[in-house]
Amino acid sequence: MGTKHILRPLLTCVTFAWVGVSQPASCASVESIVRGTLTENGRPAANIKVVLVNSTGHLSDPAYTDKEGLYTFHGVNHTDRYVLRAWVSAEQPPIDFPIIFTGKGAEVWPIEIRGSSPQAQNAPALSNGDVRKFVTDYWNAYEKGDLERLIASYASSVNYYNNGQRDKSFILKEKQAYLRYYAKQRSFRVTNMEVFDTLTPNRKSVRFDFDYSVAHKAEPKVKHSTEVWTLEKTGDRIEITNCKSDLAKA
């Protein structure tokens, strides 16, 4: 692509966006633009190599961030599943970040990579088994209406779906309203769970599908969704710090 590739020792934050390409109604397309930014210590990270990897393991042509830290992929099939793969350090293998389309035209959320602080490096490691159990237990608690367990699953401040950064009081009100409205029937089934490492031992990302059935009075609702969470372990606690869903496209 004619762009010099410079590997940086550490990226502290990655943000990305999915932007759908507008098409005439008579000519629907599954192609979209994927674009986002890489930052290093709060500043744009230029000349960093990134690729998209689809569900079959096929790699896109590489893109490199510009002076503003921006990368762009064109002609992406938004009906497939992808991870964003970034070469964040010359001394380490690339890191994968799970991503999803939301169907809203643009969705941006941050992914933090903290590999340099002694506190993060010395924190208790979060295992893949920990992540899988946490996600399963969370949805079991939701089925049972265990509000205390649900709220305990979140950090004090969470990048919460399309609501931005929110505290636990906001999440509590939202969960209370949901459980009151769907008081009679709640059923959740998690499938296709994928766990992703970060540069920090106590933090992982997870992407999973789930089917759910809920009912308000006699009105049933059955849907399918995909979620992406960031989980962090502190001491013996695991908490959600970031969560996004593709429900907006349903």
Q: Which stretches does DSSP call E strand in the chain?
A: 13-20, 31-40, 43-44, 49-54, 63-64, 70-77, 82-86, 95-99, 108-112, 154-160, 165-167, 185-197, 203-216, 219-234, 237-245
Which pair of structure tokens corresponds to residue 18? Answer: 């999915």
Model pLDDT, residue 205: 92
Q: Are 182 and 215 in contact (CB under 8 A)?
A: yes
Model pLDDT, residue 135: 97
Contacts of 50 (CB under 8 A, 6+ apart): 38, 62, 63, 64, 65, 71, 84, 85, 86, 87
Q: What is the pLDDT of residues 91-118, one digit of tens each?
A: 778 888 888 776 543 343 544 444 444 5
> Is residue 133 pLDDT above 90, yes or no?
yes
Q: Are 120 and 130 in contact (CB under 8 A)?
A: no
Model pLDDT, residue 7: 41
* Residue boundaries of the structural domains of the chain: 13-113, 120-249
Q: What is the pLDDT of residues 147-203, one digit of tens each?
A: 999 999 999 999 898 888 999 999 999 999 999 998 878 899 999 999 999 878 898
CATH 3.40.225.10 fits 120-249, yes or no: no
Most confident of 93-107, 148-162, 214-228, 235-249: 148-162
When pLDDT is cut at 50, 70 and 90, the band that residue 42 belongs to is: low
Which pair of structure tokens corresponds to residue 215? Answer: 């009912």
Q: Whole-prediction pTM value?
A: 0.78
What SS3 class is residue 25? coil
* CA distances from residue 179 to 94, 107, 172 in whole angstroms, order as listed: 41, 27, 11
Tell me the average pLDDT across 20-31: 46
* CA distances from residue 102 to 10, 19, 198 in whole angstroms, order as listed: 29, 9, 23
CATH 3.40.50.1820 fits 13-113, yes or no: no
